[in-house]
């Protein structure tokens, strides 16, 4: 019996029970929230368990994770969660999903270290089973053999996966790039991909994030050369902001700073955590006496200071944003400082980043950021690198993963151009189930899926109806009408007391006087013997307020009548 039989009961009678089923519950059709389910017979593995950050309309929501309701009925068959690397869009949902499944989690040493830190923050570490694997190692069950293959990404110790099942061999690229001159000794294992291609690969799942970019991605060593130039030119303090997970680049910046006679201070909780993890597990090999505490930079001349800080996406309370607003307790941005944005601008953050750039520029700093300076290289493969992967692996079938729909579609077209038959390559989206068997690759149906919204400590407490109310509040405001009514006589003994929020200025006495008059008249029109019907009284008050604001201000506020029984 398969996932879809249990959840939706739609599996066709002629479906092959010996097929490998693939079910994406996140990451196909959006950037982030990656979660892919593989099922063969009575065994299930999950690849990655990520989050995505909220869209602008998700007011008050902190993060978004996949809805795994489809898995809860079959959780006893889940053999583990396999992680490709330690980015939040691949591991960030684990603190919320792992307690529901209680299965082993497999990943490289850095990935597991980063997972451990997050689980510890949620008091879940003691109850979690975390298993460290290395590239070249294999985990095996009755129906699955999963091999870990080294790949280069913007975070160390990323892996691709070669998954062997009775239905065929599947290669999952993870997030990767082909970098022949990386900063670390890690390289994408092209030889292993070629060997797999020669042995026969039935299905390739490959990252589509950068399919729009022609050619090859730039090597991280080129970023190092650019930073060496920035340090040669900089005469004042240098402040660098980047993703906290870009550990190879952080280490290289520290090394270059040491060569140029600068001390380095780290500012930002996520940067501190990640650099501490990297030092604990031996990834960092830092020059001695280069790192200093942020409070010690004031004792040094500007030309001897380099600060690595959070805030590359314009986050309101990040280290860089506090500097821009003059509220940082550690340093004030001044003329002569050089500020380097060493990351891509994530879509949706452009306005916040633009405002941050403007504020920093007003303070007299020199700002370096794409496209006016070369400060960043992507960790995702460009189109020619993806073509190289296809040519090495030579898959019979192909499914593009990791990307918005246009990315998946472009990758599909590339695969067909490279020789994958038209009926052997297709685009899937979240919730669709595919099956790989001896007759090929087929979409066999749909499984219920969705997004779970995390608001503070609330998991799933916020739904889209609540978001609708929040958007309504943000654009139309709220009116609360409080009335005290004697239960036996029906007389109004308190109020009406009217409060508005986000609707009109408190000092607008004319509108408030008219509103009190409209509400008072509506109350007086209700016969005394009918005022004990609180539902009717609330409806009358709601209609009176709604009519007033619609006719006077063309507004539709949320109206909250409150009746106090006295």
Residues annotated catalytic, as ranges = 207, 380
Question: What radius of gyration do the chain's Cα atoms show?
Answer: 29
* Of the candidates 300, 299, 308, the residue with the CA atom closest to the CA atom of residue 275: 308
Give the CA distances from residue 271 to residues 83, 115, 237, 244, 265, in Å, rounded to whole numbers and listed in that order: 22, 15, 19, 5, 11
Q: Tell me the C-alpha distance between 459 and 64, whole Å.
A: 10
The SS3 of residue 83 is coil
Contacts of 438 (CB under 8 A, 6+ apart): 16, 18, 167
The SS3 of residue 372 is coil
The SS3 of residue 360 is helix
E strands in 166-261 = 168-172, 203-207, 238-241
| Beta bridge mates, 564 | 484
Q: Tell me the C-alpha distance between 522 and 542, whole Å.
A: 10
Q: Tell me the C-alpha distance between 459 and 451, whole Å.
A: 11
333: left (phi over 0), alpha (psi -120 to 50) or beta: beta
Contacts of 86 (CB under 8 A, 6+ apart): 107, 110, 111, 113, 114, 115, 155, 157, 245
The SS3 of residue 172 is strand
Q: Tell how strand 158-165 and strand 168-172 pair up.
A: antiparallel
Structure tokens, 456: 């503070």
Q: Tell how strand 158-165 and strand 145-151 pair up.
A: antiparallel
* Of the candidates 29, 149, 76, the residue with the CA atom closest to the CA atom of residue 429: 29
- Cis geometry, peptide bond prior to residue 371 (ω within 30 degrees of 0): yes
Q: Say which DSSP state 27 is in.
A: S
* DSSP letter string, 240-272: EE--TT-HHHHHHHHHHHHHTT-EEEEESHHHH
Question: In terms of residues, how long is the chain?
Answer: 566
Counts of helices then strands in the chain (DSSP H, E): 16, 28
Q: Tell me the C-alpha distance between 152 and 171, whole Å.
A: 16
Do 129 and 104 touch, CB atoms closer than 8 A?
Answer: yes
CA 116 to chain centre: 18
286-322 burial, b if ≥16 CB within 10 A, otherwise e?
A: beeeebeebeebeeeebeebbbbbbbbbbbeebbbbb
Do 537 and 531 touch, CB atoms closer than 8 A?
Answer: yes
């Amino acid at each position: 019996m398969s996932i879809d039989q249990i959840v939706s009961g739609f599996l066709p009678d002629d479906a092959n029970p010996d097929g490998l089923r693939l079910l994406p519950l996140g990451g196909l059709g959006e950037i982030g929230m990656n979660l892919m389910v593989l099922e063969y017979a009575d065994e299930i593995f999950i690849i990655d368990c990520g989050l995505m950050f909220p869209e602008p309309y998700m007011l008050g929501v902190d993060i978004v994770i996949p809805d795994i309701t489809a898995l809860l009925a079959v959780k006893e068959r889940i053999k583990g969660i396999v992680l490709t690397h330690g980015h939040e869009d691949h591991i960030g949902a684990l603190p919320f999903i792992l307690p529901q499944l209680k299965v082993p989690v497999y990943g490289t040493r850095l990935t597991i270290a980063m997972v451990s830190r997050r689980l510890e923050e949620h008091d879940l570490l003691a109850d979690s089973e975390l298993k460290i694997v290395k590239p070249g190692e294999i985990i095996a069950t009755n129906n699955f053999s999963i091999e870990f293959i080294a790949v280069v990404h913007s975070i160390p110790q990323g892996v691709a996966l070669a998954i062997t099942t009775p239905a065929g061999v599947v290669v999952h690229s993870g997030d990767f790039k082909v970098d022949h001159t990386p900063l670390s000794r890690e390289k994408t294992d092209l030889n292993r991909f070629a060997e797999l291609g020669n042995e026969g690969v039935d299905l390739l799942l490959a990252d589509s994030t950068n399919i729009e970019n022609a050619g090859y991605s730039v090597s991280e060593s080129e970023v190092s050369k650019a930073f060496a130039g920035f340090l040669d030119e900089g005469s004042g303090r240098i402040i660098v902001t980047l993703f906290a997970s870009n550990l190879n680049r952080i280490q290289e910046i520290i090394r270059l700073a040491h060569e140029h006679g600068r001390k380095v201070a780290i500012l930002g909780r996520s940067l501190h955590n990640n650099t501490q993890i990297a030092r604990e597990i031996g990834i960092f090999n830092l020059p001695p006496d280069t790192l200093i505490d942020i409070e010690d930079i004031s004792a040094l001349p500007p030309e001897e200071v380099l600060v690595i800080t959070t805030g590359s996406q314009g986050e309101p309370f990040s280290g860089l944003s506090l500097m821009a607003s003059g509220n940082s307790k550690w340093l004030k941005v001044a003329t002569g400082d050089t500020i380097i944005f060493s990351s891509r601008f994530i879509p949706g953050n452009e306005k916040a980043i633009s405002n941050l750039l403007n504020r920093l520029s007003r303070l007299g700093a020199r700002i370096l950021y794409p496209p006016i300076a070369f400060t960043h290289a992507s960790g995702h493969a460009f189109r020619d690198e993806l073509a190289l992967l296809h040519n090495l692996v030579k898959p019979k079938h192909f499914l593009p993963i990791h990307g918005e729909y246009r990315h998946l579609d472009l990758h599909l077209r590339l695969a067909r151009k490279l020789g994958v038959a038209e009926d052997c390559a297709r685009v899937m989206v979240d919730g669709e189930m595919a099956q790989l068997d001896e007759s090929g690759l087929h979409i066999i149906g749909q499984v219920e899926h969705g997004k779970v919204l995390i608001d503070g400590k609330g998991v799933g407490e916020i739904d889209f109806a609540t978001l609708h109310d929040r958007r309504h509040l943000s654009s139309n405001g709220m009116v609360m009408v409080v009335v005290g009514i004697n239960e036996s006589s029906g007389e109004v003994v308190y109020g009406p007391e009217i409060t508005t929020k986000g609707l009109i200025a408190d000092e607008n006495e004319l509108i408030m006087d008219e509103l009190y008059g409209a509400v008072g008249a509506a109350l007086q029109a209700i016969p005394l013997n009918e005022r004990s019907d609180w539902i009717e009284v609330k409806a009358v008050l709601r209609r009176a307020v709604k009519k007033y604001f619609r006719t006077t201000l063309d507004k539709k506020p949320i109206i909250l009548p409150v009746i106090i029984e006295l």
